[in-house]
Amino acid sequence: MSFEQWLTQSKPVIPVIVIGELSQAVPLAQALVAGGVRLLEVTMRTSVALAAIEKIAKEVPDAIIGVGTVTKAEHIQQANDAGAQFALSPGISEKLVTKSQDLALPFMPGVMTPADIIKGIEFGLQDFKFYPAEQAGGVNMLKAFAGPFENIRFCPTGGISEHNFKNYLALNNVMAVGGSWLCPRNLLQTGDWSAIEILAKQC
Ligand code: 3PG
């Protein structure tokens, strides 16, 4: 499957998830899926990230589970072994792209400049994370990219929230947006899954 195909089955919003406790993984994924948000990015920012990916892959079949904050090729291998269906990184490197291609794992590297995008095109990629979106020029930067990079699609993340995500989704070269606003730390800590489901439903 590709991001394009998955996005026909999910809202075009990818929550950036930081799992502190393994017990949060399944109820959180269930709440997001119940809200129509199926593509989930569990970031490699905590020690339980891989275990969380494995649990969600096994126990929440309607979730399309991916790994985020990939900064080393071994993260891609480990997440793939744990059952991740895609990978995202804040940046782009030959090692990351090659590893994902060896595993045939859909991968969106992060880009911020035309040079980054050209590097990805040289690897045959069309889909990129634009990171950090707000800090790197936001909607106007993506409009500027639309000229020279006609067939390239972006998933902006970084500084996106319920207040500005629609401005991004209105752009032709944006296929989805990502962000942590759908999984606020306080709701995760208190286990308020119904509030997270409502946030997912609202977007
Ligand atoms: C990411 O990894 O995509 C970002 O950390 C998400 O940024 P946000 O917390 O501003 O949504």
The per-residue pLDDT string of the chain (203 residues; one tens digit each, 9 = 90 and over) reads 889 999 999 999 999 999 999 999 999 999 999 999 999 999 999 999 999 999 999 999 999 999 999 999 999 999 999 999 999 999 999 999 999 999 999 999 999 999 999 999 999 999 999 999 999 999 999 999 999 999 999 999 999 999 999 999 999 999 999 999 999 999 999 999 999 999 999 98
129 flagged as catalytic: yes
First-to-last alpha carbon distance for the chain, in angstroms, is 24
Active-site residue among 11, 41, 55, 99?
Answer: 41
Q: Domain coordinates of the chain in residue numbers?
A: 12-202
Question: Which listed CATH number (3.30.1330.120, 3.20.20.70, 1.10.10.60, 3.40.50.720) goes with 12-202?
Answer: 3.20.20.70
pLDDT at 169: 98
Q: What is the pTM of this model?
A: 0.95
Q: Name residues contacting ligand 1 (CB within 6 A).
A: 16, 68-69, 131, 157-160, 178-181
Q: Whose CA is nearest to atom 9 of ligand 1?
A: 180
pLDDT at 1: 84
Q: How far is the CA of 38 from the centre of ligand 1 (A)?
A: 18
pLDDT at 181: 95
Contact by Cβ (8 Å): 167, 139: yes
Q: Where are the beta strands (DSSP E) in 5-75?
A: 13-17, 39-43, 64-68
Q: How far is the CA of 78 from the centre of ligand 1 (A)?
A: 22
C-alpha torsion sign, points 131, 65, 174, 36: negative
166 flagged as catalytic: no
